[in-house]
Amino acid sequence: MASRQIVMTVIAFGVAAGGAVLASTYLTDILENRSIAAVGAALDEAELTDFAFAEADGLRVTISGTAPDEAARFAAISAASGVIAPDRVIDALVVAEAKALAPPDFTLELLRNEDGISLIGLVPAATEREALVNRLSDLGRVVDMVETADYAIPARWIGALDYGLSAAELLPRAKVSVSAGRVHVAAITDSVEEKDRLETRLRRTAPAGMIVTLDLAAPRPVLAPFTLRFSKDDNGARFEGCAAETARDRGRILAAAEQQGLAPGTSCMLALGAPSPRWADAASAGIRAVAALGGGSVTLSDADITLVAPESVAQPLFARVVADLQNSLPEGFSLYSVLPEPEDERPGLFNPEALRFTATLSPEGLAQLRGHVADPTRQEVTETLAHALFGGDNVYNATQLTDAAPEGWSVRVLAALEGLSHLNNGSATVTPGFIRVSGRTGAEDGPAQVAQLLSDRLGTEADIRLDVSYDPVLDPITAIPTEEECFERVEAAKTGRKILFDPGSARLAAEAFNVIDDIAEVLADCSHVAMEIAGHTDSQGREVMNLELSQERADAVLAALAEERITTANLVARGYGEALPIEDNDTEEGREANRRIEFTRPTPPVNEGVERGETPAATTAEEPSETAESTQGGDDEQN
């Protein structure tokens, strides 16, 4: 009986223990599920479930996964600790490796006005800030607000920076924006001519591959009188002067002229001073009248219009076209029409029996005056004006006196001479019936200038016949030499000669100045090209002394060029000593060749290796040098 009670007792304890275990397991599962649900909801609310995962092990909750950064890891642990006890949260998160920061976009703004220049932007730390400020110091006060970042210099940054600095030096009122491989220039110029000249120069000096955008503005000129002249003959249709007050009017005028054969792309200047809002209507009507006549010219000078028909036009056709034009002109415009008498078959020759004055101008600037003038006083006035316009030594006067000169003859002669002075070469003819000026000019607006001058001097009723053409070859703007041409011209200037120094010194020999004079003449047209005056020696003597001597000689050449009164801001002197021989130093001939001055493209302050983030490498003798070389002589074994 006792044994049975013991067994029952053991069974009872076993059942109780098992029930406790089952109850404990059940409670643990409930806690785990509730903890997982609470932490999961907290992570989801914080939008962290894309990398953080919760797992429960009894009362503990483990947060695992790969956090993108330390801040995200902290946020996940904080979210879990906010819903369960922090000592129950196990941090098993891993933080991903930080990615290397991308280099910033380096930019530099150069803002220049009359007070100086301001620098604003972010540049690579390797940029030589002091040299940059020193270069611009001649422009006035330099305000440096530039910040730096220690990243590798990006490709094409150095070329863009140098070009941007050159543009800022060239433009007194400008904003120049520089970034790697790209430069934007916005500026205000004093005139349309200055704008065109600067645009041409900036485009021609832009480095190859550089993206350059130009936004140059010029104030519109005020024309008085406001002039337009359209002609059509066997050589085609052309404007010898064109002005409009608005872009819309310009488009209408050009469209009317192009319908009559004007070449597309012809320019027409925008200016102030139009006598009527319907200027374009009057100009278009005049152009159509010339077309109806089969040629001739129409000149608008303010509100006065002169229509000149070809000599071959029949009178009935001429009368009908004149009537149609008169009826189509806007109110306020007056018309004068001319059906001229036929010209002589050889109008350029002087016929002593016909009343005529002729003047010719050669490409060399020599002027010849022939024909009739009214009296000795007017003959002297004519010669005096010619001397003033063409130079006293360039004028040959063979004029004759006549009693048959009509009223206003001298005014026409003087106007013809003044018109001829605007040409590079040509001729001017004055007869009782007409004035003709023909020739070539290097000014793009030269034909318009001649037309406006003659209309202003003689009035719109004068029969003015122009055959003036613009020749780009004569244009001093388009004739600016390219960088390559400048180096070629320097090379040609020294051909067969040397820049000599006194033996062992940096003092220029007397015969060296002839070479320097010729080089200075070339450099006067090449102020837009950066050049390095590089001094070199042979290997005789100590290396340090040779380096110093080469620098002193390069400096001496730069100083001599400065004395020639040319711009030297684009020149830099640098000595290389014996480091870059071009011949063998073991022979006298080789040493003679190595003692030299070269005109080269400037050595960049940071080479391409640095642009790629590498360590700068010293220039070696094996590196090719693009040069226009001027050799210098030595004496025996001396540098």
Summarised one tens digit per residue, pLDDT across range 14-39 is 444 444 444 445 555 676 777 777 78
Does residue 462 surpass a pLDDT of 70? yes
Say whether 605 sits in a helix, a strand or coil. coil
User: Distance between CA atoms of 175 and 180, rounded to whole angstroms?
Assistant: 17
pLDDT in tens, 204-216: 788 777 888 999 8
Report the topology of domain 28-95: Alpha-Beta Plaits (3.30.70)
Residues 460-483, mean pLDDT to the nearest whole number? 77
Q: What is the pLDDT of residue 352?
A: 60
Identify whether the C-beta of residue 152 lies closer than 8 Å to the C-beta of residue 103: yes
Identify whether the C-beta of residue 309 lies closer than 8 Å to the C-beta of residue 340: yes
Q: Give CATH for domain 357-474.
A: 3.40.1520.20
Nearest to 290 by CA among 300, 298, 302, 282: 298
Residues 270-295, mean pLDDT to the nearest whole number? 94
Q: What is the pLDDT of residue 609?
A: 36
Q: What is the pLDDT of residue 342?
A: 67
Q: What is the pLDDT of residue 629?
A: 37
User: Distance between CA atoms of 543 and 532, rounded to whole angstroms?
Assistant: 21
Beta strand extents in 234-277 (DSSP E only)? 236-241, 243-244, 269-270
**Geometric angle at alpha carbon 59, from 57 and 61, rounded to 5°:** 60
Q: What is the pLDDT of residue 5?
A: 57
Give residue limits of the domains in the chain. 28-95, 107-217, 227-338, 357-474, 483-631
Read off the pLDDT band of 4 (50, 70, 90).
low
pLDDT in tens, 549-578: 999 999 999 999 988 878 788 899 999 999
Q: What is the pLDDT of residue 623?
A: 36
- Say if residue 423 is exposed, middle or buried (CB neighbours under 10 Å; 0-12, 13-18, 19+): buried
Read off the pLDDT band of 334 (50, 70, 90).
very high
DSSP tag of 395: E
Residues 366-378, mean pLDDT to the nearest whole number? 92
Average pLDDT, the chain: 83
Read off the pLDDT band of 466 (50, 70, 90).
confident
Read off the pLDDT band of 305 (50, 70, 90).
very high
User: Distance between CA atoms of 49 and 61, rounded to whole angstroms?
Assistant: 15
User: Distance between CA atoms of 215 and 175, rounded to whole angstroms?
Assistant: 10
Residues 330-339, mean pLDDT to the nearest whole number? 91
Q: Do domains 227-338 and 483-631 have the same CATH topology?
A: no
Does residue 500 surpass a pLDDT of 50? yes
Long-range contacts of 552-560 (CB under 8 A, 24+ apart): 552/506, 553/501, 553/506, 553/597, 553/632, 554/597, 555/506, 556/501, 556/506, 556/507, 556/508, 557/499, 557/508, 557/516, 557/533, 557/597, 558/533, 560/508, 560/512, 560/513, 560/516
Q: What percent of the chain has pLDDT over 90?
A: 38
**Geometric angle at alpha carbon 524, from 522 and 528, rounded to 5°:** 100
Q: Give CATH for domain 107-217.
A: 3.40.1520.20
pLDDT in tens, 139-177: 889 999 999 998 888 988 988 999 999 999 999 999 999
Report the topology of domain 227-338: hypothetical protein tt1634 (3.40.1520)
Helices and strands per DSSP (H, E), number in the chain: 16, 26
Q: Give CATH for domain 483-631.
A: 3.30.1330.60
For the ranges 27-36, 321-330, 458-467, 468-477, the lowest mean pLDDT is seen at 27-36
